Amino acid sequence: MQPIEQVAAVYHRRVGDITITAIGDGHLDGSMAVIQNIEPDEAARMLREAFRPVPRRTAVNTFLIRSGGRTALVDTGCGMAMAASAGKLFRNLAAAGVDPGAVDTVLLTHMHPDHSNGLSSDGQALFPRAELAMHEAEHRFWHDDAAMARADETSRQRNFQACRDQSAPYRDRLRLFSGGEVFPGVTVMPFPGHTPGHSGYLLASGGESLLIWGDIIHLPEIQVPRPEVTMAFDVDPAQAEATRRRVFEMVASEGLAAAGMHMHFPGFLHLARRGSGFALIPEAWATAL
């Protein structure tokens, strides 16, 4: 019999004494119309020349962090409501031997549905022992009634109301922060623009470091060579572009390893300077830890 799907999307990596595990949630196929600040034909050409699907296909990754005897999950994927090609988080957690009840902290990069829809279902927390932790600006924005009233109907339901519904079961174990160490060996780095509280997480241990940069890019084949390209779901596109350029500069100049929610699985990468821009170098798959 011919195989019809891949093996579990699970990949481990060490950062000093910290283990980070990429847990794939699948992918989303979507409209090219959300790609902004570039001509549609040019965006399609860049994807085709990189042998990528047109219309766009976007990977969705989450990252498990085991540090100091504790377990955190960074983002929770799409849940079961967005696409049949996504919502694979819990299947892949099981393949990694991780019960949702073993996760003691859920760290969110931000609260777009492809990052927070896996928090709960039918009003029940899917991580029954975990506290929910995020940047205070993120929680404040999505719970701002005035901001919700200014949004269009789609965003009111898909973003504002969904965020409130997903986080509600965690109201008694919610932790908001603005900076500092938020988990053993993990420091939050505010990266605003995509959303007001969009955050990255810097892992550091034993002289090694790695940056989980969240949604700095959605389409690597386009946004690395063309960082001015923004997405329709950037809350502040100009700030998102400025933040992307700042993070690119930091990652390249410091030689940081990075990981992204929308990089091709398992999502680990480096950036190298190439003339006035940057080249993305996927990290080679390692067979041993």
Q: For 38-62, what is each residue's pLDDT tens digit?
A: 999 999 999 999 999 999 999 999 9
- Which CATH superfamily groups domain 10-282? Ribonuclease Z/Hydroxyacylglutathione hydrolase-like (3.60.15.10)
The reported pLDDT for the residue numbered 103 is 98
What mean pLDDT do residues 217-244 have? 98
The reported pLDDT for the residue numbered 171 is 96
What does the longest C-alpha to C-alpha distance in the chain come to? Answer: 56
Distance in angstroms (rounded) separating the CA atoms of residues 18 and 14: 6
What phi, psi does 279 have (nearest 5°)?
A: -120, 135
The reported pLDDT for the residue numbered 18 is 98
What mean pLDDT do residues 105-133 have? 97
Strands 57-67 and 70-74: antiparallel
Domain boundaries, the chain: 10-282
The reported pLDDT for the residue numbered 110 is 98
Strands 131-135 and 105-107: parallel
Residue among 156, 267, 146, 273 at smallest CA distance from 217: 267
What mean pLDDT do residues 124-152 have? 97
